[in-house]
Chain A
Protein backbone atom coordinates (compact mmCIF):
# COMPACT_ATOMS: atom_id res chain seq x y z
CA UNK A 1 0.00 0.00 0.00
CA UNK A 2 2.79 2.35 0.99
CA UNK A 3 4.74 1.58 -2.15
CA UNK A 4 1.61 2.12 -4.27
CA UNK A 5 1.03 5.50 -2.71
CA UNK A 6 4.64 6.44 -3.33
CA UNK A 7 4.27 5.62 -7.04
CA UNK A 8 0.98 7.50 -7.32
CA UNK A 9 2.42 10.56 -5.62
CA UNK A 10 5.63 10.70 -7.59
CA UNK A 11 3.81 10.24 -10.91
CA UNK A 12 1.48 13.06 -9.95
CA UNK A 13 4.37 15.31 -9.02
CA UNK A 14 6.20 14.39 -12.24
CA UNK A 15 3.24 15.33 -14.41
CA UNK A 16 2.70 18.52 -12.45
CA UNK A 17 6.35 19.55 -12.82
CA UNK A 18 6.25 18.75 -16.54
CA UNK A 19 3.17 20.86 -17.12
CA UNK A 20 4.61 23.64 -14.95
CA UNK A 21 7.73 23.75 -17.10
CA UNK A 22 5.55 23.96 -20.21
CA UNK A 23 3.70 26.82 -18.53
CA UNK A 24 7.03 28.46 -17.71
CA UNK A 25 8.14 28.21 -21.33
CA UNK A 26 4.87 29.60 -22.60
CA UNK A 27 4.76 32.51 -20.16
CA UNK A 28 8.31 33.44 -19.33
CA UNK A 29 10.25 32.35 -22.39
CA UNK A 30 7.88 33.17 -25.23
CA UNK A 31 6.26 36.04 -23.35
CA UNK A 32 2.81 35.07 -24.57
CA UNK A 33 1.22 37.09 -21.75
CA UNK A 34 1.79 40.21 -23.78
CA UNK A 35 0.04 38.70 -26.78
CA UNK A 36 -2.91 37.36 -24.81
CA UNK A 37 -3.52 40.56 -22.89
CA UNK A 38 -2.97 42.60 -26.02
CA UNK A 39 -6.53 43.26 -27.14
CA UNK A 40 -5.05 46.13 -29.07
CA UNK A 41 -6.59 48.34 -31.71
CA UNK A 42 -5.24 48.55 -35.27
CA UNK A 43 -3.68 51.74 -36.59
CA UNK A 44 -2.43 52.15 -40.15
CA UNK A 45 0.52 54.10 -41.49
CA UNK A 46 1.90 54.39 -45.02
CA UNK A 47 5.64 54.52 -45.56
CA UNK A 48 7.54 55.08 -48.78
CA UNK A 49 10.28 52.71 -47.60
CA UNK A 50 10.16 50.41 -44.59
CA UNK A 51 13.75 49.18 -44.84
CA UNK A 52 14.08 45.98 -42.84
CA UNK A 53 10.91 46.32 -40.76
CA UNK A 54 9.35 42.97 -39.95
CA UNK A 55 6.03 41.74 -38.61
CA UNK A 56 6.08 41.64 -34.75
CA UNK A 57 8.60 44.47 -34.63
CA UNK A 58 7.93 46.70 -31.60
CA UNK A 59 6.05 49.99 -31.77
CA UNK A 60 7.27 52.47 -29.18
CA UNK A 61 6.59 55.86 -27.71
CA UNK A 62 9.62 57.50 -26.13
CA UNK A 63 11.35 54.13 -26.28
CA UNK A 64 8.63 52.27 -24.34
CA UNK A 65 6.93 49.43 -26.18
CA UNK A 66 3.21 50.01 -26.65
CA UNK A 67 2.39 47.57 -29.42
CA UNK A 68 3.71 45.66 -32.38
CA UNK A 69 3.54 45.54 -36.15
CA UNK A 70 0.73 43.22 -37.20
CA UNK A 71 0.80 43.31 -40.99
CA UNK A 72 2.90 44.74 -43.81
CA UNK A 73 1.42 44.99 -47.31
CA UNK A 74 2.36 46.65 -50.55
CA UNK A 75 -0.14 49.27 -51.60
CA UNK A 76 -0.45 48.65 -55.36
CA UNK A 77 -1.85 52.05 -56.32
CA UNK A 78 0.82 54.23 -54.73
CA UNK A 79 3.50 51.53 -54.56
CA UNK A 80 4.19 52.26 -50.93
CA UNK A 81 4.04 50.05 -47.86
CA UNK A 82 0.93 49.85 -45.70
CA UNK A 83 1.90 48.93 -42.14
CA UNK A 84 -0.81 47.86 -39.72
CA UNK A 85 0.13 48.14 -36.04
CA UNK A 86 -1.69 46.83 -32.99
CA UNK A 87 -1.46 49.27 -30.09
CA UNK A 88 -2.33 48.64 -26.44
CA UNK A 89 -5.44 50.32 -25.12
CA UNK A 90 -3.77 51.21 -21.84
CA UNK A 91 -2.67 54.72 -22.78
CA UNK A 92 -4.58 56.98 -25.17
CA UNK A 93 -2.41 58.73 -27.74
CA UNK A 94 -3.33 62.28 -28.82
CA UNK A 95 -4.38 62.17 -32.47
CA UNK A 96 -3.64 65.70 -33.62
CA UNK A 97 -0.26 65.88 -35.39
CA UNK A 98 0.74 62.33 -34.48
CA UNK A 99 3.61 60.98 -36.55
CA UNK A 100 5.42 57.67 -36.99
CA UNK A 101 9.05 57.02 -37.82
CA UNK A 102 10.97 53.87 -38.60
CA UNK A 103 14.17 53.78 -36.57
CA UNK A 104 16.96 51.29 -36.05
CA UNK A 105 18.15 49.90 -32.72
CA UNK A 106 21.77 50.90 -32.69
CA UNK A 107 23.88 50.79 -35.82
CA UNK A 108 23.16 47.22 -36.89
CA UNK A 109 20.02 46.41 -34.91
CA UNK A 110 16.56 45.61 -36.16
CA UNK A 111 14.01 48.21 -37.23
CA UNK A 112 11.14 49.41 -35.06
CA UNK A 113 8.46 52.08 -35.28
CA UNK A 114 8.56 55.10 -33.03
CA UNK A 115 5.36 57.10 -32.65
CA UNK A 116 5.64 60.75 -31.74
CA UNK A 117 2.34 61.74 -30.15
CA UNK A 118 0.59 64.94 -31.06
CA UNK A 119 -0.79 67.68 -28.83
CA UNK A 120 -3.94 67.20 -26.79
CA UNK A 121 -4.64 70.81 -25.80
CA UNK A 122 -7.84 71.06 -27.83
CA UNK A 123 -10.34 69.57 -25.41
CA UNK A 124 -13.44 70.14 -27.49
CA UNK A 125 -12.14 68.27 -30.52
CA UNK A 126 -14.37 65.33 -31.56
CA UNK A 127 -11.36 63.14 -32.35
CA UNK A 128 -8.91 63.68 -29.49
CA UNK A 129 -7.19 60.30 -29.39
CA UNK A 130 -6.06 57.63 -31.83
CA UNK A 131 -8.91 55.22 -32.55
CA UNK A 132 -9.20 51.83 -34.17
CA UNK A 133 -8.52 52.02 -37.90
CA UNK A 134 -6.99 55.51 -37.83
CA UNK A 135 -4.36 56.41 -40.37
CA UNK A 136 -1.20 58.16 -39.23
CA UNK A 137 -0.58 60.56 -42.06
CA UNK A 138 2.80 61.97 -41.10
CA UNK A 139 5.43 59.31 -41.54
CA UNK A 140 9.14 59.18 -42.04
CA UNK A 141 10.62 56.24 -43.90
CA UNK A 142 13.46 54.08 -42.69
CA UNK A 143 16.92 55.56 -42.92
CA UNK A 144 18.89 53.12 -45.01
CA UNK A 145 22.60 53.15 -44.33
CA UNK A 146 23.55 52.40 -47.95
CA UNK A 147 21.58 55.40 -49.20
CA UNK A 148 23.21 57.65 -46.62
CA UNK A 149 26.68 56.46 -47.55
CA UNK A 150 25.83 56.87 -51.22
CA UNK A 151 24.71 60.45 -50.70
CA UNK A 152 27.77 61.21 -48.64
CA UNK A 153 30.14 59.85 -51.29
CA UNK A 154 28.28 61.75 -53.99
CA UNK A 155 28.61 64.99 -52.07
CA UNK A 156 32.26 64.39 -51.27
CA UNK A 157 33.06 63.87 -54.95
CA UNK A 158 31.52 67.21 -55.81
Chain B
Protein backbone atom coordinates (compact mmCIF):
# COMPACT_ATOMS: atom_id res chain seq x y z
CA UNK B 1 0.00 0.00 0.00
CA UNK B 2 2.77 2.38 0.99
CA UNK B 3 4.64 1.25 -2.08
CA UNK B 4 1.74 2.30 -4.30
CA UNK B 5 1.58 5.76 -2.75
CA UNK B 6 5.35 6.14 -3.09
CA UNK B 7 5.15 5.15 -6.76
CA UNK B 8 2.39 7.69 -7.33
CA UNK B 9 4.51 10.33 -5.65
CA UNK B 10 7.54 9.56 -7.78
CA UNK B 11 5.40 9.60 -10.94
CA UNK B 12 4.12 13.01 -9.92
CA UNK B 13 7.62 14.27 -9.19
CA UNK B 14 8.95 13.13 -12.58
CA UNK B 15 6.08 14.70 -14.47
CA UNK B 16 6.56 18.01 -12.67
CA UNK B 17 10.29 17.74 -13.36
CA UNK B 18 9.60 17.09 -17.04
CA UNK B 19 7.31 20.09 -17.20
CA UNK B 20 9.96 22.28 -15.61
CA UNK B 21 12.61 20.92 -17.94
CA UNK B 22 10.47 21.65 -20.98
CA UNK B 23 9.84 25.18 -19.71
CA UNK B 24 13.58 25.78 -19.23
CA UNK B 25 14.18 24.30 -22.67
CA UNK B 26 11.63 26.70 -24.20
CA UNK B 27 13.29 29.64 -22.45
CA UNK B 28 16.72 28.54 -23.67
CA UNK B 29 15.43 28.26 -27.23
CA UNK B 30 13.58 31.56 -27.19
CA UNK B 31 16.04 33.83 -25.43
CA UNK B 32 19.05 33.74 -27.69
CA UNK B 33 20.56 36.16 -30.09
CA UNK B 34 19.21 35.16 -33.49
CA UNK B 35 21.72 35.34 -36.34
CA UNK B 36 19.10 35.99 -38.97
CA UNK B 37 21.42 35.91 -41.96
CA UNK B 38 23.12 32.70 -40.90
CA UNK B 39 19.72 31.29 -40.04
CA UNK B 40 17.97 32.16 -43.29
CA UNK B 41 18.85 29.14 -45.51
CA UNK B 42 18.01 26.67 -42.75
CA UNK B 43 14.80 28.54 -41.91
CA UNK B 44 13.73 28.47 -45.56
CA UNK B 45 14.33 24.74 -45.71
CA UNK B 46 12.27 24.22 -42.55
CA UNK B 47 9.47 26.44 -43.85
CA UNK B 48 9.45 24.27 -46.95
CA UNK B 49 9.30 21.01 -45.02
CA UNK B 50 6.93 22.16 -42.28
CA UNK B 51 4.77 24.62 -44.18
CA UNK B 52 4.73 24.01 -47.91
CA UNK B 53 4.55 20.24 -47.73
CA UNK B 54 1.66 20.48 -45.22
CA UNK B 55 -0.33 22.59 -47.65
CA UNK B 56 -1.89 19.68 -49.52
CA UNK B 57 -3.39 17.98 -46.47
CA UNK B 58 -4.57 21.34 -45.11
CA UNK B 59 -6.23 22.37 -48.38
CA UNK B 60 -7.93 19.03 -48.98
CA UNK B 61 -9.24 18.66 -45.43
CA UNK B 62 -10.29 22.32 -45.36
CA UNK B 63 -12.29 21.87 -48.53
CA UNK B 64 -14.07 18.79 -47.26
CA UNK B 65 -14.74 20.21 -43.80
CA UNK B 66 -16.21 23.35 -45.36
CA UNK B 67 -18.38 21.22 -47.61
CA UNK B 68 -19.58 19.04 -44.72
CA UNK B 69 -20.41 22.05 -42.54
CA UNK B 70 -22.23 23.61 -45.48
CA UNK B 71 -24.26 20.48 -46.15
CA UNK B 72 -25.11 19.78 -42.52
CA UNK B 73 -25.84 23.41 -41.78
CA UNK B 74 -28.10 23.75 -44.80
CA UNK B 75 -30.12 20.69 -43.88
CA UNK B 76 -30.58 21.86 -40.30
CA UNK B 77 -31.24 25.50 -41.09
CA UNK B 78 -33.71 24.63 -43.82
CA UNK B 79 -36.01 23.08 -41.21
CA UNK B 80 -36.43 26.53 -39.69
CA UNK B 81 -36.58 28.30 -43.02
CA UNK B 82 -33.32 30.01 -42.21
CA UNK B 83 -31.08 28.62 -44.94
CA UNK B 84 -30.04 32.18 -45.78
CA UNK B 85 -28.05 32.20 -42.53
CA UNK B 86 -25.75 29.50 -43.89
CA UNK B 87 -22.91 31.95 -44.52
CA UNK B 88 -23.02 33.13 -40.95
CA UNK B 89 -23.01 29.61 -39.52
CA UNK B 90 -20.17 28.54 -41.79
CA UNK B 91 -17.94 31.54 -41.23
CA UNK B 92 -18.44 31.68 -37.48
CA UNK B 93 -17.76 28.02 -36.90
CA UNK B 94 -14.76 27.97 -39.21
CA UNK B 95 -12.97 31.20 -38.32
CA UNK B 96 -13.46 30.76 -34.58
CA UNK B 97 -13.09 27.04 -34.02
CA UNK B 98 -12.59 24.60 -36.84
CA UNK B 99 -9.90 26.49 -38.73
CA UNK B 100 -7.33 26.89 -35.95
CA UNK B 101 -8.11 23.63 -34.16
CA UNK B 102 -8.21 21.21 -37.06
CA UNK B 103 -5.20 22.73 -38.76
CA UNK B 104 -3.28 22.46 -35.48
CA UNK B 105 -4.28 18.81 -35.10
CA UNK B 106 -3.29 18.02 -38.68
CA UNK B 107 -0.08 19.98 -38.19
CA UNK B 108 0.77 17.94 -35.09
CA UNK B 109 0.23 14.73 -37.03
CA UNK B 110 1.94 15.79 -40.21
CA UNK B 111 4.82 18.06 -39.15
CA UNK B 112 5.17 17.66 -35.37
CA UNK B 113 5.69 13.92 -35.49
CA UNK B 114 8.19 14.28 -38.33
CA UNK B 115 10.15 16.87 -36.36
CA UNK B 116 10.27 14.65 -33.27
CA UNK B 117 11.44 11.67 -35.28
CA UNK B 118 14.06 13.71 -37.11
CA UNK B 119 15.54 15.27 -33.99
CA UNK B 120 15.29 11.98 -32.11
CA UNK B 121 17.18 10.15 -34.84
CA UNK B 122 19.81 12.90 -34.84
CA UNK B 123 20.19 12.30 -31.14
CA UNK B 124 20.32 8.51 -31.53
CA UNK B 125 23.03 8.72 -34.18
CA UNK B 126 24.93 11.15 -31.95
CA UNK B 127 24.84 14.00 -34.44
CA UNK B 128 23.75 16.41 -31.73
CA UNK B 129 26.61 15.34 -29.44
CA UNK B 130 29.20 15.66 -32.17
CA UNK B 131 27.87 19.13 -33.02
CA UNK B 132 28.19 20.08 -29.39
CA UNK B 133 31.75 18.76 -29.40
CA UNK B 134 32.64 20.87 -32.43
CA UNK B 135 31.47 23.93 -30.54
CA UNK B 136 28.22 24.37 -32.48
CA UNK B 137 25.22 24.85 -30.26
CA UNK B 138 22.57 22.38 -31.46
CA UNK B 139 19.88 24.55 -29.94
CA UNK B 140 20.58 27.42 -32.30
CA UNK B 141 21.65 25.29 -35.27
CA UNK B 142 18.93 22.61 -35.19
CA UNK B 143 16.14 23.54 -32.81
CA UNK B 144 15.77 27.27 -33.32
CA UNK B 145 15.09 27.27 -37.11
CA UNK B 146 12.58 24.44 -36.70
CA UNK B 147 10.85 26.28 -33.89
CA UNK B 148 10.65 29.49 -35.86
CA UNK B 149 9.55 27.67 -39.01
CA UNK B 150 6.69 26.01 -37.16
CA UNK B 151 5.57 29.19 -35.44
CA UNK B 152 5.45 30.99 -38.79
CA UNK B 153 3.88 28.11 -40.73
CA UNK B 154 0.92 27.09 -38.60
CA UNK B 155 -0.90 30.45 -38.53
CA UNK B 156 -0.48 30.71 -42.31
CA UNK B 157 -1.76 27.16 -42.73
CA UNK B 158 -4.74 28.01 -40.51
CA UNK B 159 -5.58 31.04 -42.68
CA UNK B 160 -5.40 28.88 -45.81
CA UNK B 161 -7.58 26.25 -44.12
CA UNK B 162 -10.26 28.78 -43.17
CA UNK B 163 -10.33 30.44 -46.57
CA UNK B 164 -10.54 27.12 -48.41
CA UNK B 165 -13.19 25.82 -46.01
CA UNK B 166 -15.36 28.89 -46.57
CA UNK B 167 -15.02 28.37 -50.30
CA UNK B 168 -15.99 24.72 -49.84
CA UNK B 169 -19.10 25.76 -47.96
CA UNK B 170 -19.83 28.41 -50.57
CA UNK B 171 -19.53 25.79 -53.31
CA UNK B 172 -21.98 23.42 -51.61
CA UNK B 173 -24.38 26.04 -50.30
CA UNK B 174 -24.55 28.42 -53.23
CA UNK B 175 -23.58 26.39 -56.28
CA UNK B 176 -25.20 23.08 -55.37
CA UNK B 177 -28.03 23.79 -52.91
CA UNK B 178 -29.13 27.14 -54.24
CA UNK B 179 -28.64 29.61 -51.37
CA UNK B 180 -28.49 33.09 -52.85
CA UNK B 181 -24.91 34.26 -53.26
CA UNK B 182 -25.61 37.82 -52.14
CA UNK B 183 -27.37 36.85 -48.91
CA UNK B 184 -24.65 34.26 -48.24
CA UNK B 185 -21.88 36.87 -48.24
CA UNK B 186 -23.82 39.75 -46.72
CA UNK B 187 -25.13 37.65 -43.82
CA UNK B 188 -21.60 36.45 -43.25
CA UNK B 189 -20.19 39.96 -43.25
CA UNK B 190 -22.81 41.34 -40.93
CA UNK B 191 -22.30 38.48 -38.47
CA UNK B 192 -18.51 38.35 -38.42
CA UNK B 193 -16.69 41.02 -36.50
CA UNK B 194 -13.00 41.25 -37.31
CA UNK B 195 -11.91 42.12 -33.80
CA UNK B 196 -13.91 39.37 -32.13
CA UNK B 197 -14.09 36.47 -34.53
CA UNK B 198 -11.21 36.62 -37.00
CA UNK B 199 -8.74 37.97 -34.46
CA UNK B 200 -9.58 35.31 -31.90
CA UNK B 201 -8.96 32.69 -34.58
CA UNK B 202 -5.59 34.26 -35.35
CA UNK B 203 -4.60 34.38 -31.67
CA UNK B 204 -5.65 30.77 -31.27
CA UNK B 205 -3.58 29.60 -34.21
CA UNK B 206 -0.49 31.43 -32.94
CA UNK B 207 -0.87 29.90 -29.46
CA UNK B 208 -1.41 26.44 -30.94
CA UNK B 209 1.67 26.85 -33.13
CA UNK B 210 3.79 27.63 -30.08
CA UNK B 211 2.45 24.70 -28.10
CA UNK B 212 2.58 22.08 -30.83
CA UNK B 213 6.07 22.97 -31.99
CA UNK B 214 7.33 23.25 -28.42
CA UNK B 215 6.05 19.79 -27.56
CA UNK B 216 7.39 18.17 -30.70
CA UNK B 217 10.83 19.74 -30.50
CA UNK B 218 11.16 19.02 -26.79
CA UNK B 219 10.06 15.40 -27.20
CA UNK B 220 12.62 14.91 -29.95
CA UNK B 221 15.40 16.58 -28.02
CA UNK B 222 14.87 14.62 -24.81
CA UNK B 223 13.87 11.24 -26.21
CA UNK B 224 15.65 8.05 -25.19
CA UNK B 225 18.14 7.56 -28.06
CA UNK B 226 16.97 4.13 -29.19
CA UNK B 227 14.56 3.00 -31.87
CA UNK B 228 11.93 2.32 -29.23
CA UNK B 229 12.53 5.65 -27.52
CA UNK B 230 12.06 7.55 -30.77
CA UNK B 231 8.80 5.77 -31.53
CA UNK B 232 7.53 6.52 -28.03
CA UNK B 233 8.54 10.15 -28.32
CA UNK B 234 6.75 10.47 -31.67
CA UNK B 235 3.58 8.97 -30.24
CA UNK B 236 3.80 11.25 -27.22
CA UNK B 237 4.18 14.27 -29.48
CA UNK B 238 0.95 13.56 -31.32
CA UNK B 239 -1.00 12.65 -28.17
CA UNK B 240 0.24 15.52 -26.02
CA UNK B 241 -0.12 18.16 -28.69
CA UNK B 242 -3.63 17.03 -29.63
CA UNK B 243 -4.70 17.12 -25.99
CA UNK B 244 -2.99 20.46 -25.41
CA UNK B 245 -4.63 21.97 -28.49
CA UNK B 246 -8.11 20.80 -27.51
CA UNK B 247 -7.71 21.88 -23.88
CA UNK B 248 -6.25 25.26 -24.74
CA UNK B 249 -8.99 25.76 -27.31
CA UNK B 250 -11.60 25.52 -24.60
CA UNK B 251 -9.63 27.91 -22.39
CA UNK B 252 -9.09 30.46 -25.14
CA UNK B 253 -12.73 30.30 -26.23
CA UNK B 254 -13.82 30.85 -22.65
CA UNK B 255 -11.53 33.86 -22.40
CA UNK B 256 -12.55 35.43 -25.71
CA UNK B 257 -16.24 34.88 -25.19
CA UNK B 258 -15.79 36.31 -21.73
CA UNK B 259 -17.94 33.88 -19.79
CA UNK B 260 -15.60 34.16 -16.80
A25 touches B162 (CB 8 A): yes
Residues on A with beta carbons closer than 8 Å to the beta carbon of B162: 21, 25
* Nearest CB of A to B80, in Å: 9
Tell me whether A52 is interfacial, beta carbon within 8 Å. Answer: no
How distant is the Cα of A14 from the Cα of B188 in the complex, in angstroms?
Answer: 27
Which residue of A14, A22, A25 is within 8 Å of B51 (Cβ)?
A14
Residues on A with beta carbons closer than 8 Å to the beta carbon of B160: 17-18, 21
Tell me the number of A-to-B contacts counted with CB atoms below 8 Å: 76
Residues on B with beta carbons closer than 8 Å to the beta carbon of A20: 163
* Nearest CB of A to B66, in Å: 12
Number of interface residues of B (CB under 8 A): 30
Main secondary structure of the interface of A (DSSP, over half): helix
Number of interface residues of A (CB under 8 A): 25
B45 touches A7 (CB 8 A): yes
Within 8 A of A (CB), among B155-184: 155-157, 159-160, 162-164, 166
Q: Check A29/B192 contact, CB under 8 A, given A18-B157, A19-B156, A21-B163.
A: yes
**Max chain B Cβ within 10 angstroms of own Cβ: one of A28, A29, A32:** A29
Chain A 1-30 per-residue mask, 1 if CB under 8 angstroms from chain B, else 0: 000000110110111011111101110111
A11 touches B47 (CB 8 A): yes
**Max chain B Cβ within 10 angstroms of own Cβ: one of A18, A31, A34:** A18
* Nearest CB of A to B142, in Å: 18
Q: Ordered nearest first, which 8 A-B pairs have the shortest CB separation?
A: A18-B156, A31-B189, A21-B163, A30-B194, A21-B159, A30-B192, A22-B159, A14-B52
